[in-house]
Structure 1
Amino acid sequence: MTDNYSVIDTIDGYDEAVAALASGNGPVAVDVERASGFRYSQRAYLVQVFRRGSGVFLFDAPAFDDHAPLQEAIGDAEWVFHAASQDLPSLREIGLVPGSVFDTELSARLLGWPKVGLAAVTERTLGIELKKEHSAADWSTRPLPDSWLEYAALDVLHLLDVRDELAAALDEAEKTVWATAEFEHVRSMPPKPPRRDPWRRMSGLHRVNGRRPLAIARELWTAREEYAREQDVSPGRLVPDRALVAAVMASPTSKSQLAGLKEFTGRASRTQLDRWWNAIDTGRNSTDLPPDRLPGDSPYPPPKAWRDRNPDADRRLKQARAAVSERADELEVPAENLLTPDLLRRVAWDPPVPHAQDPVADALRAEGARDWQIDETAGIIAEAFVQAAQPVDDAAEPAS
């Protein structure tokens, strides 16, 4: 027999839930359900909270303008997430901000576990099998089916027990300090800046050549974004990327030709025909033509080009990458958690001089590495850089 869960969508229900959570004890398990793929935004549609001594509460997030009472009730407690980086932006958007976090997914990664999904971690720590059949559901649906509510509740119901098991495992592996630093890094991470020319991420755009066709693609993408925002619908559900690219490639000379394209499909492809035709016309007449490609945001070219562009940096990267990978294996932690590939590339491309541990440590710190990462990698990276500086015939150069 399973519990019957209900969505809290009234002020009285909200106040009762907040009072219960305030009277509970210890950390709180928190999860968020969105409607990615269905709605335009990444807003929270359901916020699940569990606290020992209080129970499980499922909040209809859009039903309330002010979540300050919930923040006050649990703000000083540790918030336990599975993959906190996915949920924190949606929570911040509605004014819910933790003072400290514990991330069960990140913990499992630092422990070197091969499977780090919530279901796998819950089964490994508690022997409880969770079904994940509603993870990609449209959580803006109202009313929510009972089976969805049970699924949402189970995402937090066992999370505190999972947290305790993982905390003990981290302590036994002497990785608690690492985990604490990583949790705080995730919690305090600033929002990502807006992408430059986000329309360039359209699937299939690589088939479009020429600045004028790219201008048309840009205007079609912008028109779709504006309509998607108005309707609060995922852009791809209105007109998929492949349809916009097909319209650019076909270069129709009239609205009727655009409407006749068999590839131009989607729920809004015909009903908003004027919108798409106006976008095509705007692109054709624009004097603001985009470049064929943007220069990269990175200070270095793609690593595959390093051998020709900067052979010294190429040798440094290969030596250091092999050393970091070997150290990660020894520590039983994924190499990307020990040190992100981008951070290693940045230091390898523009290394400190001399190639010694302290200058390398300073360079890693300047790029955002945490103290534990620096402690574990600065020395081996410095040694790798020294080896890479030897004559090519003498240096052992790992394969790409």
Structure 2
Amino acid sequence: MEDFNHHLSALSASLQSIPTSDSFRFHYNLPEFRHLIDQLTQKSQSMLNQIGSSDHIWGHNSSFPVDVDDGYEWMVNANDDVLELVDEVVDEFHRVLMEQDMEKGEDGFFKIKKERKGLILWGDDHGNETKKKVSFHVHTLRKPQYHYNLAVDNSNQPFEHVWLEKEKTEDGERFIHPLEYYSVLDFVDKNSIESLVPVKPPPLEFTPFKLVEDVKGLKELAAKLSLVDEFAVDLEHNQYRSFQGLTCLMQISTRTEDFIVDTLKLRDHVGKHLRDVFMDPTKKKVLHGADRDIVWLQRDFGIYICNMFDTGQASRVLKMERYSLQHLLQHFCGVTANKEYQNADWRARPLPDVMIKYGREDTHYLLYIYDLMRIKLFELSKESESPDDPLLEVYQRSYNVCMQLYEKDLLTENSFLNIKGLRGAGFNGQQLAVVSGLYEWRDVLARAEDESTGYILPNKVILLIAKHMPVTASNLRRLIAERSRLPYVERNHDIVVNIVRHSMGKAAAFEEAALRLKEEHAAFVEAAALRLKEEHAASVSNVASVEDGTEAPQSPSLSLKDECAANGSIGIENATCVNISEKSLFSSDPNSSAVKVA
């Protein structure tokens, strides 16, 4: 920097101002002037390269462009990144202050506010106090993949279940789940239910709790689980900032204790110490809505569950009003769960007390709910004349959930066709080629950076870019200006534009697929419209039958969502279908914009 100042001072001393245009070209022919300008150019570009390639600042490599004409745009983007980073840090700073219940004093120092306790509240525009919104993504968090050196395999190859045995099949090989060695009947415990007396757990604040953050604590947890016959399990997960997702926490409750395992810090040790106890067929594992938990355990820790009772499946067999854990907690335990942290950013460390409390509640009451549900299922089986055993049905469903095996998302040449909304977009071959190109770029980058595809480039933005096909960086910026922050797109404007240009030249190869998508969409709309007409006719028939006292057969009900899709309408608040098509399906008025309320 001192050299730069020296050269700048020397140049400024010799000239009142740097000449421009023709005057500059004239002076540039003078060796002394040209030498000073070249030195300034080299020094400036060197410093800009150093700034741009500072990964600890930007989190990515963004060297100053070789083409000086692109330098202005680079500087604008760099300044925007700096200002945005400052904004994020300031926002996070204020968030921490609010969580710690602090305020700025007259002396400029921040102090704890003594007059306010408990949950921090924010004021709205009208001066009313409202609960603080829980963010699902904290921008300023350092990725745990870097912080804990987490090893992930995002290669475009099938997931290897290295802890499972394989057997030969006609199609090659398959993995053998350990649960295959057991029958569902091995886990049904009818005899113990008749004498079962449910014991409600003590309040959360009176229950021993352990936050497991080291291997020693993990070993102690494994030893305690080896001594019990049953335990409840839940996981907290983050999908937004990794390609395959990360299990951030594991909550475990026995009849007497609660545990939370920091599975980010202990990722490499969880499987080693807990795998056997989860696979032990003599120990009941109680989970709620375990479909995703099962595959997350396999993916991150090589853990496979044998002998599970899923309270989510039990709530369905019992035909309860709602199937959520929140409802079960209220229904069976009288506990109102705070579900605003359900989608919180569970990568945060250290964990705030309120998030620890939320995590504990997910398993603390689950064994008690398990007892009550078993009793209800057993009583239902005795009262029912049906040959189907409700208790056995729950265990069969739970067994099937456990039998799932994790599969990695793989990129194929037709993967882009699965983008939601593509079929109804009406794209031509050129636009479809752009979708394919952007989809592949996004997938490759997401795997390399260990980011979710939605964070790199959301599906809606892919469709937006493909629709308008911007061929310059400025057009692309204007197109996505109102979108939420897209850091990878912002850093790679030129690459995205080049993909658009290159893909547009491949239109011919995508014309057939574009035509097929349009035909499929037309067939779907036609089928939905036909069903809608049939239901309308049936409803008219029902009205006529009621009037003359006869009964009319009931036709299958078409969901509001299908109805709206069929006639080109949009749904509002789950109960209203607003016709936005050129002509209402049943209206004689072609300009009708009638609102149908379901």
Q: Same fold (TM over 0.5)?
A: yes
> How far apart, in 1, do the equivalents of 2:376 and 2:345 lie?
36
Give 3-state SS (helix, strand or coil) of 1:225's partner.
helix
Report the Cα offset of residue 252 of structure 1. Answer: 1.8
Which amino acid in 1 is paired with 2:394? A
Shift in alpha-carbon separation, 1:220–1:5, aligned structure 2, 3 A: farther
Check conservation: 1:208, 1:249, Cα contact below 8 A: no
| Structure 1 residues 6 and 248, CA gap change in structure 2 (3 angstroms) | farther
Between the aligned partners of 1:85 and 1:96, the Cα distance in structure 2 is: 14
Q: Residue deviations 1:80-129, cap 9 Å, x none?
A: 11001121110111211111110101101111111110011122122222
Distance (Å, rounded) in 2 between the aligned partners of 1:293 and 1:58: 53
Aligned partner of 2:469 in structure 1 is 251
- 1:59 corresponds to which residue? 261
Q: Given residue 57 of structure 1, which amino acid in structure 2 is its aligned partner?
A: F
Structure 2 equivalent of residue 292 of structure 1? 514
Q: CA deviation at 1:248?
A: 1.2
**Partner Cα distance (2:451, 2:529) in 1:** 45
Q: 1:19 aligns with which of 212, 223, 227?
A: 223
1:202 is matched by which residue type in structure 2? I
Q: 1:233 aligns with which of 451, 457, 467?
A: 451
Match of 1:275 among 488, 491, 495: 495
> What is the one-letter code of the residue matched to 1:61?
T
Q: In the alignment, which residue of structure 1 is the partner of 2:291?
A: 85
* Partner in structure 1 of residue 248 of structure 2: 45
Residues 1:96 and 2:303 aligned together = yes
Partner Cα separation in structure 2 for residue 273 and residue 153 of structure 1 = 45
User: What TM-score do the two structures reach when normalised by structure 2?
Assistant: 0.47
Superposition map of 1:1-400 within 5 A: 2=205, 7-23=211-227, 25-53=228-256, 55-62=257-264, 63-66=266-269, 67-76=271-280, 77-93=283-299, 94-174=301-381, 175-191=390-406, 197-205=414-422, 206-262=424-480, 265=483, 266-286=486-506, 288-289=509-510, 291-292=513-514, 305=527
What residue identity is the alignment partner of 2:287?
Answer: F
Structure 1 residue identity aligned to 2:258 = V
Structure 1's 302 and 7: CA in aligned 2 closer, same or farther, altered over 3 A?
farther
Identity rate of aligned residues, in percent?
A: 22
**Cα displacement (A) at 1:34:** 0.6
Residues matched between the structures, number? 308
- TM-score, normalised on structure 1? 0.68
Which amino acid is 2:247 matched to?
A
What residue in structure 1 maps to residue 101 of structure 2?
A: none
* CA separation of 1:95 and 1:193: change in aligned 2, threshold 3 A: closer
* Higher Cα radius of gyration: 2
- Unaligned 5+ segments in structure 2 are 1-203, 382-389, 518-522, 531-552, 557-598
- Asked if the contact 2:471/2:500 (under 8 Å) is kept, the reply is no
Could you list the per-position Cα deviations for residues 267-292 of structure 1 after superposition, in whole angstroms to 9, with x for gaps in the alignment?
33221213322332342244753712
Q: Which residue of 1 aligns with 2:153?
A: none
Q: Is 1:27–1:80's contact at 8 Å kept on the other side of the alignment?
A: yes
Q: CA deviation at 1:37?
A: 3.5
Decide whether the 8 Å contact of 2:317 with 2:394 is kept in 1. Answer: yes
Asked whether the equivalents of residues 243 and 264 of structure 1 are also in contact (C-alpha less than 8 Å), the reply is no
Q: Aligned partners of 2:208 and 2:464: how far apart in 1?
A: 48
Letter paired with 1:85: D
The CA deviation at 1:226 is 2.5
SS in 2 for 1:45: strand
Check the 8 A contact 1:246/1:263 in 2, yes or no. Answer: no
Name the structure 1 match of 2:43: none
What is the deviation of 1:4?
A: 8.5
The one-letter amino acid of 1:106's match is Q
Instruction: Note the C-alpha offset of 1:305.
Output: 4.5
Question: Which SS does the other structure have where 1:133 is aligned?
Answer: helix
Q: Choose between structure 1 and 2 for higher RCO, CA contacts under 8 A separated by at least 6 residues.
A: 1
Give the superposition deviation at 1:10.
1.6
1:49/1:156 contact within 8 Å kept: yes
CA-CA distance at 1:204 after TM superposition: 4.2
Q: Aligned partner of 1:138: which letter?
A: D
Kindly provide the amino acid, as one letter, of the partner of residue 417 in structure 2.
Answer: R
After superposition, give the CA deviation of every residue in 1:158-188 in whole Å (9 maximum; x if it has no partner).
1111111111111111111211221112211
Give me the whole-angstrom Cα distance separating, in 2, the residues matched to 1:230 and 1:285. Answer: 27
Q: Distance in 2 between matches of 1:243 and 1:43?
A: 25
Task: Write the distance in 2 (CA, Å) between the matches of 1:264 and 1:279.
Answer: 22
Given residue 99 of structure 1, which amino acid in structure 2 is its aligned partner? C
Quick check: 1:105–1:118 contact (8 Å CA) kept in 2?
yes
Matched residue type, 2:309: F
Task: Return the structure number with greater strand share.
Answer: 2
